[in-house]
Amino acid sequence: MLYLTIIRGPLKGRQFPVKNRLTLGRKGTDIIFPDSKTSSKHAQIQLKNGKFYITDLGSRNGIKSEAKTHQSLQLQLGLEFIIGENTLKVIEIQDEPLEKPQLEKITPHISTDSPLSHNTPIPSSTPKQLTWQEEYSQLLESLIEKAEDKHNSSLKTFKKDLTLKFERGLQAETQWNINYGPKTIGAESLEYPIYEKGAPGLCFQVLQNEQGIVFNTPHPKVVLLNGKSILSDTLCNGDIIQILETQIKVEL
């Protein structure tokens, strides 16, 4: 069975089965890419004459493959294409049938005095089987809840609202407004992901203390503050945070 595996982008490592009418976009679609270069309804997979195609739905940036923009592409093994800031590859995974566990048959004992003895049907307790979209949605919700619960006990409202404006890089023109913390920013962050290739999983953290909003980074050689390698410092209006080719302006 054909699958789409994401090899670059915030959902890197995720795999999705190729299905007819599967939609991809920034919101309200089967696969959601949270980046500004992906249109709301960007593309759709369509089955034509027994073959799958990925078709553009009038998006702003189109579907790119081999440095060209395409209206439609046949999904063949090994094909790589770009939607927004995400690179996808077509792979094949052999579905293995699941072995059904051997369950011991249990015959319930029903008393002759019980009302159930008079041909009353016993209700089925078979759980509802979730679709892969529902399982994926539950997984995301679970990860976000765990990340939030981890810091809930130490969250503090910022005395000044913090705005991070991306001025250069893959996320240029993106803007984040943060009013409480601590918050972590990095390639592995669910809430504030950095898409820059080679960016650390945790680039930096912002939190409130007595001096103001503090910037901390475990990677001062990669994450620079105003062009300098600094482990920790209090942020000021106009500061510049640089992560490789990504440049972020601080506004307070």
pLDDT in tens, 81-140: 999 999 999 999 875 554 555 555 555 555 555 554 455 555 555 666 666 656 655 665
Q: Residues 97, 103, 106, CA angle at the centre, nearest 5°?
A: 150
Provide the pLDDT for residue 225. 95
- Does residue 142 carry a pLDDT above 80? no
What is the spatial distance between Cα 121 and Cα 27, in angstroms, rounded to a whole number? 45
145: part of which helix (H) or strand (E)?
Answer: helix 132-151
Residues 6+ apart with CB under 8 A from 142: none
- Does residue 42 carry a pLDDT above 70? yes
Q: Which of 19-28, 42-51, 53-62, 103-112 has the lowest mean pLDDT?
A: 103-112
Provide the pLDDT for residue 113. 54
Count of other CB atoms within 10 angstroms of residue 204: 24
Residues 6+ apart with CB under 8 A from 148: none
Among all chains, which residue has been given the structure tokens 């910022």? 158
- Does residue 230 carry a pLDDT above 70? yes
Q: What are phi and psi for residue 58, nearest 5 degrees? A: 80, 30
Provide the pLDDT for residue 126. 60
Secondary structure class of 217 (helix, strand, coil): coil
Q: Which of 11-20, 41-50, 89-98 has the lowest mean pLDDT?
A: 89-98
